Amino acid sequence: MGSALARALLQANHQVTVWNRTTAKMQPLVEIGANGATSIATAVQASPLVMICVDNYSITKSLLGANGISPHLSGRTLIQLSTGTPQEARESDAWARDCGADYIDGAIMAYPDKIGHAEALILLAGTQAAFDRCRPYLECLGGDIRHLGTNAGMAAALDLAILSKNLGIFIGTVHGARICESEGVGVDVFASMLDDTDLAKTVIQTIHTGAYENPGATIKVWEAALQRVQQQARDAQINHVVPDFVSGLFKRAIAAGHGERDVAALINVLRGNGIA
C-alpha cells in the first residue's frame, strides 16, 4: 500500500521522498523519480508533509518515536494511513500534537491496485486547516477523498463499521452457499440472483470456481483486521459477541491451513473439512 501511495503522488508530479524498513522496496520508486532516504529521520526532514502507512499505529509510534525523530515532526503535518482503532487514532493525534505536529488520521477503503483511481475511497479526520493544506496531495490518491471532521477517531470508526458489515456478508454468504449445496442447488445459480456490485456475488463466484489463491486480502489479513473490531468493542465497552463469533470461524480456517487463501475459503470450515 505504501508503494501504491508513493506511486500515485509521483504520477501527480509531486516531489516525494520515500523510506522503507526494507531498502530494496524503495528502488522501484526511486527509478520513477522518488528520492530515496537513507534513514527515517532524513525522510521526515525532507518535507512539511509526512505520510506514513505501516501495519498499525504501534509500529508508527515505534518508528517515529525512536532515535530522536519525534522533534523533527514539529511544524509538520503527519498523515497516518496505517490501520487501527478509534482509541488508537485519538492517542496518535494527542502524541502528534505533543510533538508540535498537525495530524490527519486516515482509513484507506481500497486495495493497493485501486490507489490513484476514481473508485478509491479514503476517509480522513483532522482539522479543516490541516486537511485544506494537504488536499492537493490527498486528492491524487483516489477519486473519493472524504474529510469527516475534527474527531480523530471518525475515520477508524467508519473503517471498522464497514469492515464489520463486510464480515457479516462473508459469513452469511458462505452459509448461504452451504444451504444451496445441501439442497443440490448450484452456487452459480445463487450468484446469478445477485447484482454485479454485490460483494456476496464475488464470494460465491470464488466458491464456484474454487480459485482461492492469490486474493486481494487473505483470511489472515481479514482476521488481523477483525482483532481491531474486537479491541474497539472492549475499548468502547459494547457487546462483542458478533466479532468474537466471526473471529472463531476465521481462526479455525487459519488453523486448517487456509490463512493465505481468499475469504471464500471459509466455506471449507462450514463444510466440516476445515475444522481443526
**Length of the chain in residues, anyone?**
276
53 pLDDT above the threshold of 90: yes
* Residue 1, pLDDT above cutoff 90: yes
What's the whole-number average pLDDT of the chain?
94
pTM of the model: 0.88
Q: Would you tell me how many other CB atoms lie within 10 Å of the CB of residue 14? A: 16
Structure confidence by residue, pLDDT tens digits, 168-215: 999 999 999 999 999 999 999 999 999 999 999 999 999 999 999 999
pLDDT higher than threshold 70 for residue 96 = yes
Q: 258-274 pLDDT, tens per residue?
A: 999 999 999 999 998 54
Residue 236: per-residue pLDDT: 96
Quote the cell numbers at residue 182: 445441501
**What would the pLDDT profile of 15-49 be if each residue is shown by its tens digit?**
999 999 999 999 999 999 999 999 999 999 999 99
pLDDT in tens, 115-165: 999 999 999 999 999 999 999 999 999 999 999 999 999 999 999 999 999
Cell (9 digits) for 150 = 475534527
The packing angle between helices 219-236 and 154-182, to 10°, is 120
Name the grid cell of 54: 505501516
Residues of the chain with CATH 1.10.1040.10: 157-270
Give the class (CATH, top level) of 157-270: mainly alpha
Architecture per CATH, domain 2-151, reads as 3-Layer(aba) Sandwich (3.40)
